[in-house]
Structure 1
């Protein structure tokens, strides 16, 4: 039968039943998990990071667990938590210093800004390489008050997952693909009458002079269209 916990048993609180050398193993485990977290978040992409740098997110995840367990579990010694904090902060300082001084490492780990929209059209080659769906992109644009892509001069997906938006002046806005949900539902492969239509995939605007069926977009090779709006 397990003995009851004795309050303020300092040996249990500080080191529990572990030998002091075990703290060296804790340090090694912490450094290893720092690298695992850093790798996982690097692979997961920008949308998982959002606002925090990837190093800050690794630090928050790692320290959150280290801080929480000793608060609740009597068999988690404080000394282990202290070692975790020290090693995590050391790894964080070392990693950020290396990243700041080495542009290649910075690009691999943190990523770099990517142009996703230019002159009212989605840059398909760039966009397809990011972990960002069209629905997510359009949602971010709608939050910024954009109704159709012809209003957008440039949109850049930053390294932290945020979307930087640069609009045309109101007088310079072009016709473009409506990004309002109800309008997007009207996409079709059949053009029934003359007019300007926007590719539902990339936003390219094409003028049609009569009925057309399954016309392939010259920019992205998709064939769904919806009426372009001003």
Structure 2
């Protein structure tokens, strides 16, 4: 019990608690003002560069909330300096495609013509399961429903769908159907479990001609609901 009391209250200056509340309110309001000045509406819109800015703001705002020797004015100077830097770099980014790519990154094609695009398969950011999740969140049952899917720089997924009359066989994305099947099983059409390549029939240990994998699932051709 004594240890808990020491951890919670040891060395606390009780007359400084009210000042901490005041400092916290001031810094919280200033963070809101700075975020409004940045022009962003929500976290979903943030790029990696903007996340770095937010972390800088949080670091600058945190210490003066409870450190008596740090006047709040220091943090305010840091906050406004950061937002000026942000505005300048954003303006610079709008004038230079190279700088924009370095700071924001590039949109990445995830699905093309009903199959996973393999150009980025060796990138560190390539995660098939994350793409599965994003596509499922857009009510995509299988890749044959998707003409193009693009992962935007802010993490959102933009999708162009096939018309119902053009839907083709595709790799299923939901766990109930995304499972390995064997050549002798009663399956009409097969889909490579890695890239979505479609084959009407396969033989034992057949290798996908696109990605060279050997795992196959049944392919679906259901229309979007």
The TM-score normalised by the length of structure 2 is 0.74
* Alignment partner, residue 202 of structure 1: 195
CA gap 1:50/1:223 in 2 versus in 1, 3 angstroms: farther
Contact kept in structure 1, 2:110 and 2:131, CA below 8 Å? no
* Alignment partner, residue 191 of structure 1: 183
Matches within 5 A, 1:160-179: 160-179=154-173
Residue 171 of structure 1: CA displacement? Answer: 1.7
| Corresponding residue SS for 1:218 | coil
1:228 to 199, 219, 222: 219
Whole-Å separation in 2 of the counterparts to 1:82 and 1:171: 59
Corresponding position: 1:106 with 2:97: no
* Alignment partner, residue 215 of structure 1: 206
Whole-Å separation in 1 of the counterparts to 2:145 and 2:14: 66
Contact kept in structure 1, 2:63 and 2:70, CA below 8 Å? yes
Could you give the per-residue CA deviations for residues 88-138 of structure 1, whole angstroms, max 9, x where no partner exists?
Answer: 112212211221111111112211112110111001123442614111111
CA gap 1:130/1:155 in 2 versus in 1, 3 angstroms: farther
Contact kept in structure 1, 2:120 and 2:126, CA below 8 Å? no
Corresponding position: 1:96 with 2:86: no
Matches within 5 A, 1:16-165: 50-129=44-123, 131-165=125-159
Long gaps (5+) in structure 1: 8-12, 14-48
Whole-Å separation in 2 of the counterparts to 1:112 and 1:59: 19
Contact kept in structure 2, 1:55 and 1:92, CA below 8 Å? no
Hey, which bits of structure 1, 4+ residues long, moved more than 3 A? 4-7
Whole-Å separation in 1 of the counterparts to 2:97 and 2:50: 18
For the aligned residue pairs, the C-alpha RMSD in angstroms reads 2.6
Whole-Å separation in 1 of the counterparts to 2:197 and 2:91: 43
The TM-score normalised by the length of structure 1 is 0.73
Could you give the per-residue CA deviations for residues 171-191 of structure 1, whole angstroms, max 9, x where no partner exists?
Answer: 21101111111222x214x31
Residue 76 of structure 1: CA displacement? Answer: 2.3
Residue 59 of structure 1: CA displacement? Answer: 2.2
Residue 169 of structure 1: CA displacement? Answer: 1.0
Aligned length: 187
Residue 62 of structure 1: CA displacement? Answer: 1.2
Could you give the per-residue CA deviations for residues 189-210 of structure 1, whole angstroms, max 9, x where no partner exists?
Answer: x3115731000000010111xx
Whole-Å separation in 2 of the counterparts to 1:218 and 1:119: 16
